[in-house]
Chain A
């Protein structure tokens, strides 16, 4: 008996998590898929009614905006946060005296929830109260920074606030990565007279490829789940110009009593996630087995 236990212990240890994830993640996704095929309103109903929710979804101009925003916001947020994180990591890697303090300053925004900082950012970006007004007060009468109230530009303010929150974390990831690159190779390159910037581009950054992938996963997870941020900063406005699938889903489910519609938007989101995450998982796990 104990021999059998010992042999199967690894599987037994994983079993509870496995069952839990099966029910509470995949079971719930299946539930959502089911509900997305019904005419659920205030509370879920279970009689299948075909693909009407998806028809309604694709006919909704608000969903178009939300879906497009996901890619605009997602792309800009992930790319800029990664570049900024990398630059900051490289800067911090230069033997800075106050490294600990500066690193904490770059990292702390991740500790705050957006309900906390949303109001502050809303003020800073508001033309009449914030940055624009202050700079004008300093004498630069023509300075304008009214992205927050411009339907075409508002989504970029969401990008700014999101980058502010997460780039410090990405910087920490990259800093750790930079420091784990083999010092011997770098020294050798420098002795050979290769200029420092080339040391970075040819040796260090390629060696950090796995970290880029980790950062990508963390950032895309944040981008997809962006909800508190949008609600706190713009409330989805002006109009619904900064709506994202997560806020669309929430509004449909909880303010509009339209759970079927919320479920269909959730399924589309999950499909997008699937197409991004699966290739990463495949490459990640394939290299593991080498």
Chain B
């Protein structure tokens, strides 16, 4: 890292540096407050009772901490006639997200490998076409995709949702892997070819072992996008296959019913726990993965 604290003989005094350090930490702290504030509001609200929310203000800590809202959110909130909270839907999201993440990552890796290392006419064009696909707003594809899924007999099923998420994740996964593999010298591939290794052999024994950082980046990105998706989840599922985002929406967004803000917040946090967990645990690898050349142009 750039060592700003390196003082060349001609620059300022020690006190100036200590002062700078203090300013630095204060600024970092202020920004941390900015980022934490909404989460803080959500958490304390989820521990208040409805009366306290109605009469109290936003930032005050709960006078009386209750876990009722959490219990309700997990297993008692009404998402329709069923009043079982978000628990039943959690598993659906898992069934959708994990295969979709794995498949799209694998295909993206292979695509990136080809585009980066096996130059042939049209490889760049292919890459450009894939990249443009990252930008298509999902509302545009909803209706034609519904028709296609119906034709393929996958409407309303978990495999159908996995299919949709894989397709629209390919652009980004290919981008990440291609940018990463581009910085691996092509001599490696050439040498391996000379040694008689084939296409898949080279991928398996050379590229894959080097790919851990970018795999982490891709998995984190894809998991977040897929787990948090609502639009595809609501349009292509039916009773029994709805993901947790649909359940959350049903709890939070009733039109003419009474709103239980504490339950809403608790449900929202529960729904977000897997992605939060992934970010907290794998965050360190995230930056490492980005550092390891994935973002270099």
Contact = CB atoms under 8 A, between A and B. Distances in A.
Contacts of A9: 198-200
Given A120-B38, A180-B291, A287-B297, A102 B32 contact: yes
Contacts of B136: 25, 28-29, 270
Interface residues of B, number: 100
Contact of B57 (A25, A129, A191, A213): A129
A94 B5 contact: yes
Given A91-B28, A287-B297, A281 B132 contact: yes
B28 A96 contact: yes
A95 B1 CA distance: 7
Give the residue among B4, B137, B179 with the most A Cβ atoms within 10 A.
B137
Contacts of B1: 93-95, 178-179
Given A18-B126, A104-B279, A250-B139, A195 B295 contact: no
Given A93-B2, A103-B283, A124 B28 contact: no
A112 interface: yes
A180 B140 contact: no
B268 A116 contact: yes
A120 B287 contact: no
Nearest to A126: B58
Contacts of B98: none
Contact of A164 (B34, B135, B168, B198): B34
Interface stretch (B64-72, B80-88, B204-212, B270-278): B270-278
Contacts of B41: 120, 123-124
Contacts of A96: 24-25, 28
B232 to A, nearest CB: 12
Contact of A281 (B5, B128, B279): B128
A100 interface: yes
B140 A29 contact: yes
A180 to B, nearest CB: 6
B14 to A, nearest CB: 16
Given A117-B38, A120-B38, A281-B128, A102 B287 contact: no
A24 B42 CA distance: 38
A90 to B, nearest CB: 8
Contact of B295 (A106, A186, A214): A214
A195 B234 CA distance: 56
Contacts of A269: 137
Interface string A88-121: 1001111110001011111111111101110111
Contact of A134 (B59, B139, B269): B59
Contact of B272 (A113, A190, A228): A113
A92 to B, nearest CB: 7
A186 B144 CA distance: 53
Interface residues of A, number: 105
Interface string A164-183: 10001000110111111100
Given A14-B114, A17-B107, A210-B297, A6 B199 contact: yes
Contact of A28 (B25, B144, B182, B229): B144
B134 interface: yes
A284 interface: yes
Interface string B1-42: 111111011110000000000001101100110111111011
Contact of A285 (B127, B283, B290, B294): B127
For A24, A27, A262, A263, the residue with the greatest tally of chain B CB atoms inside 10 Å of its CB is A24
B62 interface: no
A17 B37 contact: no
Contacts of A263: 140
Contact of A246 (B137, B224, B268, B294): B137
B198 A6 contact: yes
Contacts of A144: none
B228 interface: yes
8 contacts: A14-B111, A18-B126, A20-B167, A92-B28, A96-B25, A105-B32, A111-B279, A266-B137
Interface of B: 1-6, 8-11, 24-25, 27-28, 31-32, 34-39, 41-42, 45, 57-59, 107, 110-111, 114-115, 118, 120, 123-124, 126-145, 148, 167-168, 170-171, 174, 179, 182, 198-200, 224, 228-231, 245, 248-249, 252, 261, 264-265, 268-269, 271-272, 275-276, 278-280, 283-284, 286-287, 290-291, 293-297
